[in-house]
Amino acid sequence: MPDVGEGLTEAEILKWYVQPGDTVADGQVVCEVETAKAAVELPIPFDGTVHELRFAEGTTVDVGQVIISVNVGGGAPAPTEAVAEAPAPAVAAPAEEEAEEAEPQGRQPVLVGYGVAATSTKRRARKGSAVPAQAATAIQGELNGHGGTSGTGTATATATAGRPLAKPPVRKLAKDLGVDLTAVIPTGPDGIITREDVHAAAAPAPAVEAPAPTAPAPAPVSAPAAPAPAAVVSTDARETRTPIKGVRKATAAAMVGSAFTAPHVTEFITFDITRTMKLVEELKSDKDMAGLRVNPLLLIAKAVLVAARRNPEINTAWDEANQEIVLKHYVNLGIAAATPRGLIVPNIKDAHAQTLPELSKSLSELVATAREGKTTPAAMQGGTFTITNVGVFGVDTGTPILNPGESAILAVGAIKLQPWVHKGKVKPRQVTTLALSFDHRVVDGELGSKFLADVAAILEQPKRLITWA
């Protein structure tokens, strides 16, 4: 399992495109995995025949673990272990003894996100380290039971008496559950404490429901890996329990962190957007916009970019680690998108420099990619300002939560025909409400109010897209 982006530590196998016995070629996509950020297709760097799928669909696998083996050449197994162990210093790859003996010949295939592993990265045992007998037994049992080592390999247990070995997410889980890591028996490779170890230590008694499955035993060569169920249904069929993982799990954690870290303030403005709606209809028949998608969101996005130029401090970030306020001289415009896997926020890089036709094309590509579930982790990194359009669901507006790393987010409400005072008379006009949430550590009330008022003013009189730009 390669590190598919941004240092993620695990990924769920969504779908296998091959089965044992299938012939594969270098670069062929063999499976689709979902990380905490996106779904990604993984190519195989070998020519040969699939020997074994080591994990079933629906299984969450740590980065660095071997998920597939391929017979190459004269039937010798492909050196997947040697390739897989390079990028994860905190995770010892299975079958390390075999990997150390393998010598690359000719071109050495490399998986996505990996460099060529010239030497073994097996963790060296710390001085004075020791593992209790029961811990060593548990480690060996897990490796043998999960296909982590060959029949001739042996696991070397390396725990540290002073500081237990565990990844940062596992340490955070232990802290949240109130578990002392020094009292947890590790079952991971080289004495690393896993999530299952922490949950086992936190459980006061055996759970009534079956625990979330750990990595299953390797599937037989002659049979395909059986898909794991996406949801667990209770015995009386009155409840459906869906595991929280992947994009939805990451989004939940990010929103909780944002809501309880950045002091949110939300301001609202309701205004007449009739002229912008008329401009939308005119642009649809403009030859310069032929073949491009023109809708209210396009002009709202353009209004945001113009207002950000007039109020550049809205496009900032609070750097907690360095205790700095970072002013961005570019706008990577995020668009919140609801997908079957949960809410994601891909962004348009350098949107401030795009013309209206370019912005239209970028928005169309962003939405289409998100709906297909093909948004890459890179497309969701580096956002500076986000727009969320709740109006498409008929909602007037809301109080959006900031996307982590940003200082403002704009919610666009439904555009409705309502009675409105226009030129001294009550007339039916297209009316909408915008809501701006901002981080009060960075954006004060004056700045937030000016920015929101500018966005509304542009959409009330869209000619300001020209005069203010």
275 DSSP β-pair partners? none
By the 8 A CB rule, do 91 and 192 touch? yes
Q: Select which of 51, 199, 422, 440 is catalytic.
A: 440
Distance CA 167, CA 191 (A): 12
Tokens of residue 442, six digits: 């960075």
Do the beta carbons of residue 40 and residue 210 sit within 8 Å?
Answer: no
* Cα–Cα–Cα angle for 373, 7, 170, rounded to 5 degrees: 105
Handedness of CA 105, 67, 370, 401 (dihedral sign): negative
How many CB atoms neighbour CB 434 within 10 A? 25
Place of tokens 């401009």: 279
Quote the radius of gyration of the chain (alpha carbons, Å). 27
First to last CA, the chain: 48
The rounded distance, in Å, linking the Cα atoms of 252 and 36 is: 10
Q: Residue 420: how many CA atoms within 13 Å on its side-chain side? A: 15
| Angle at CA of residue 55, ends 54 and 59, nearest 5° | 165
Under 8 Å CB-to-CB from 94, ≥6 apart: which residues? 65, 66, 81, 143, 146, 147, 148, 149, 189
440 catalytic, yes or no? yes
> Which residues are catalytic, by number?
440
